[in-house]
Chains A and B, each alone.
Chain A
Amino acid sequence: MSSTSPATTAPARPVTAAAAPQRKSTLHRSEHRWAAAFVAAPVIGFLLFTLFPLSYSVYASFTSWNGLSAPRFIGLDNFIAIGSDPYFRKTLFNTFFYMLGIPIGLVLSLLLAMALSRKLPGRTFFRTVYYIPVISSLAAIAILWQWAYNGDYGLVNQVLHLFGIQGPNWLQDTATVKPAIIIMSVWKGLGYSMLLYLAAIQSVPKSLYEAAELDGAGSLRKFTSITLPMVRPVTFFLIVTNIINGSQMFTEINIMTPTGGPEYSAATIVWYIWQKAFKNLQMGYATSMALVLGVLIFIITAIQMRMNARNAFSVE
Chain B
Amino acid sequence: MQTLKQTRSRTPMKARTRYTITNIWITVLLAIGAVVMIAPLLWMLTTSLKDKEGVFALPPEWIPNPAHWDTYLRIWTEGPLASGIKNSLIVSLSVTVVGSFVSALAAFAFAKMRLPGKNGLFLLLLSGMMIPFPTLMIPQFMMFSRIGWVDTLLPLIVPGMFGNIMMIFFLRQYLTSTPDSLIEAARVDGASFPQIFFRMILPLIRPAIAAQFILWFMGVWNDYLAPTIYLNSPEKLTLQLVIANFNSNYAIQSDYPLIMAASIVALLPIFVIFLVFQRQIIESVALTGTKA
Using a CB–CB distance below 8 Å, which chain A residues touch chain B? 1, 4, 7, 9-11, 14, 28, 31-32, 34-36, 38-39, 41-46, 48-54, 56-57, 60, 67, 112, 115-116, 118-122, 126-133, 135-140, 143-148, 152-153, 155, 158, 161-162, 187, 190-192, 195-196, 198-200, 203, 233-234, 237-238, 244, 247-248, 250-251, 254-255, 258, 270, 273-274, 277-278, 283, 286-287, 290-291, 293-294, 297-298, 301, 313, 315-316
**Roughly how many angstroms separate A200 CA and B292 CA in the complex, as a whole number?**
12
Q: Pick the 4 closest A-B CB pairs, nearest first.
A: A45-B162, A199-B286, A294-B135, A196-B289
**Roughly how many angstroms separate A44 CA and B44 CA in the complex, as a whole number?**
44
Check A121 against B27 for contact (C-beta < 8 Å).
yes
Query: Contacts A49-B159, A120-B30, A144-B41 given: A315-B135 contact, CB under 8 Å?
Result: no
Query: Contacts A38-B105, A137-B267, A293-B134 given: A50-B225 contact, CB under 8 Å?
Result: no
Check B113 against A67 for contact (C-beta < 8 Å).
no
Nearest residue in B to A115 (C-beta to C-beta)? B26
Check A145 against B40 for contact (C-beta < 8 Å).
yes
Check B224 against A251 for contact (C-beta < 8 Å).
yes
Nearest residue in B to A269 (C-beta to C-beta)? B134
Check B139 against A56 for contact (C-beta < 8 Å).
yes
Nearest residue in B to A116 (C-beta to C-beta)? B30
**Roughly how many angstroms separate A198 CA and B282 CA in the complex, as a whole number?**
11
Report chain B residues within 8 Å CB of A129: 34, 37-38
Query: Contacts A36-B115, A43-B121, A287-B139 given: A146-B247 contact, CB under 8 Å?
Result: yes
**Roughly how many angstroms separate A5 CA and B62 CA in the complex, as a whole number?**
58
Check A297 against B26 for contact (C-beta < 8 Å).
no
Query: Contacts A42-B163, A158-B59, A199-B290 given: A136-B270 contact, CB under 8 Å?
Result: yes
Contact with A along B117-129 (1 / 0, CB 8 A): 0110111111110
Check A130 against B33 for contact (C-beta < 8 Å).
yes
Task: Give which listed residue, A14, A45, A316, contacts B176 with CB less than 8 A.
Answer: A316
Nearest chain A CB to B35 CB, angstrom units: 9
Nearest residue in A to B278 (C-beta to C-beta)? A128
Check A153 against B58 for contact (C-beta < 8 Å).
yes
Check A43 against B109 for contact (C-beta < 8 Å).
no
**Roughly how many angstroms separate A297 CA and B132 CA in the complex, as a whole number?**
8
Report chain A residues within 8 Å CB of B241: 139
Q: List B235-265 residues whose CB lies under 8 Å from chain A.
A: 240-241, 243-244, 247-248, 256, 259-260, 263-264
Between B29, B287, B289, the greatest number of chain A beta carbons within 10 A of the residue's beta carbon is seen for B289
Report chain A residues within 8 Å CB of B207: none
Check A34 against B109 for contact (C-beta < 8 Å).
yes
Task: Give which listed residue, B114, B159, B274, contacts A35 with CB less than 8 A.
Answer: B114
